[in-house]
Amino acid sequence: MAKKTIRDIDVKGKKVLVRVDFNVPIQDGEITDDNRIIQALPTIRHIIENGGRAILFSHLGRIKTEADLAKNSLDQVAKRLSEHIKQPVIFISETRGKALEEAVNKLQDGQILMFENTRFEDLDGKKESKNDPELGAYWASLGDVFVNDAFGTAHREHASNVGIANHIKETVAGFLIEKEINILGGALEHPKRPFIAILGGAKVSDKIGVIRNLLEIADQILVSGGMAYTFFKAKGYEIGTSLLEADKLPLAQELLTIGKDKIVMGPDLVTSKAFAPDAEKFIRPVTAIPVDEMGMDAGPETIEKFTQIIIDAKTVFWNGPVGVFEFPKFAEGTRSIAEALANIKESATTIIGGGDSAAAVIQFGLADQMTHISTGGGASLEYLEGKKLPGIECITEK
């Protein structure tokens, strides 16, 4: 990449601001998936092992009310990071103020400090999310250099990425952002072929730009999941009570016309009469969905068709599950796609585009069988659309 990275600077003795993406899922007070913490470790280790003073910060969840503050503190994340990094992590439970400034100034070479959830600043006027210039300047004043390693927020112009970069001498990429751009960029610019994209998930609207861009690049686009029913409806099929974006039907028709044989859809699906984990399931042709049933998963013939295409692929990008994988009864399609990708790990580059696809691969225990699991669902999609990401653009050019 043409941007400066952490390799290009000397961190010894410097206060190194690091925007990480520790927006990890938490259930009943427990972190259920710490992949994003693990992915940030190489950058953090590089700083402390080379004599830098690491000052880490991240967002966690959304802050709309006072009640959101307690459940979205980064304190529990700092403890988990300490376990992984095997040294203490100093935690400051505020986003600005005297206690934070004093703690930063007391830091010694090789130490790590984390301050509180940047979105705590959103409680009063969305200062973080709206890139308040005063807030960006304040955070920039705490350090000597800024390392942006939060790919998950690279598509957003926030005070904690662009805001800091606008008020500090030098901004560089961490190892995670470098890895994301190299792998995703490589897939777009010089993919080994056949290049297959698998797009699922709930909404067509989330992936309009991606489909348009991939139609120029990919050899085939496999469409499934909740978004597929809008395409089926556009073909004139009955879809029962399945997910539908009625306002996107003209767009789906247009994409089908433009895509022609590049857009591949399955011949069958699994349906049920209710959205419930214990609902009775039926296998139906896509042309014969009863009016009182909804699509819940890819059918066996669809799984077989997609698997045969995947077997021959050399580059695969997957974003969006093909069924309601959270319900074991309707997880077979998503699991089969993950297993098919795992089976070609020696011969192909397999990229999981974050979000629910990443959660599924991790849930099925297949994460280490993939070439790369992106830490940014929205960011990876916008990158694949060909958009410029503010969190990448603000990094200093080499």
- The pairing of strands 294-298 and 171-173 is unpaired
The alpha carbon dihedral of 142, 147, 149, 155 has a sign of: positive
Question: Out of 200, 355, 376, 391, which one is annotated catalytic?
Answer: 355
Given the residues 36, 53, 179, 207, the one annotated as active site: 36
Residue 36: active-site member: yes
Q: Which residues contact 159 (CB under 8 A, 6 or more apart)?
A: 118, 121, 127, 128, 130, 131, 132, 133, 135, 136, 139
Residues 6 or more apart whose CB falls under 8 angstroms from that of 186 comprise 349
Q: Which of 186, 240, 378, 386 is catalytic?
A: 378
Distances from the Cα of 325 to the Cα of 240, 268, 347, angstroms = 20, 17, 27
Catalytic residue at 203? yes
Q: Out of 203, 212, 284, 329, which one is annotated catalytic?
A: 203
Q: Which two tokens stand for residue 303?
A: 């799984």
Is 378 among the residues known to form the active site?
yes
Whether 355 is catalytic: yes
Contact by Cβ (8 Å): 334, 343: no
Q: Catalytic site residues?
A: 36, 203, 355, 378
